[in-house]
Amino acid sequence: MEARKKQFPNPSIPQHVGIIMDGNGRWANFRKMPRTSGHLEGLKAAKRIIRAAVVRNISFLTLYAFSTENWKRSEQEVSFLMGLISTYIKKEYPFYREQNIRILHTGDRSGLPEKVTNVIDEAAAYTASHTGLTVCLAINYGGRNEIVRGMEKAFKLHAIADSAAGSDRHALENSFRNFLDNPDIPDPDLIIRTAGEKRLSNFLLWQSAYSELFFSDKLWPDWKAGDLDNALVDFRNRKRNYGGIDN
Per-residue pLDDT, 2:
43
164-183 pLDDT, tens digit per residue, is 545 566 677 778 899 999 99
Band the pLDDT of 6: cuts 50, 70, 90.
very low
Tell me which of 22, 181, 189, 227 is the catalytic residue. 22
What are the structural domains of the chain? Answer: 16-142+187-236 (3.40.1180.10)
What share of the chain has pLDDT > 70, as a percent? Answer: 87
Separation of alpha carbons 137 and 39, rounded Å: 15
Q: What DSSP string describes the chain? A: -PPPPPP---TTS-SEEEEE---HHHHHHHTT--HHHHHHHHHHHHHHHHHHHHHTT--EEEEEEEETTGGGS-HHHHHHHHHHHHHHHHHTHHHHHHHT-EEEEES-GGGS-HHHHHHHHHHHHHTTT--S-EEEEEEEE-HHHHHHHHHHHHHHTTHHHHHHTT--HHHHHHHHHTTSS-TTSPPPSEEEE-TT--S-TTSSTTTTTT-EEEE--S-GGG--HHHHHHHHHHHHT----TTS---
Q: Label residue 113 by pLDDT band (50, 70, 90).
A: very high
Average pLDDT of the chain is: 90
* Residue 239: per-residue pLDDT: 82
pLDDT at 50 over 70: yes
For 117-138, the pLDDT digits (tens) are 999 999 999 999 999 999 999 9
pLDDT band at 85 (very low <50, low <70, confident <90, very high): very high
Per-residue model confidence (pLDDT) at position 173? 78
On the question of pLDDT at 232 being above 80, the answer is yes
- The yes-or-no answer on residue 22 being catalytic is yes
Q: Which has the higher per-residue pLDDT, 2 or 145? A: 145
Catalytic residue among 24, 29, 57, 70: 70
Question: Does the active-site annotation cover 247?
Answer: no
DSSP 183-243: TTSPPPSEEEE-TT--S-TTSSTTTTTT-EEEE--S-GGG--HHHHHHHHHHHHT----TT
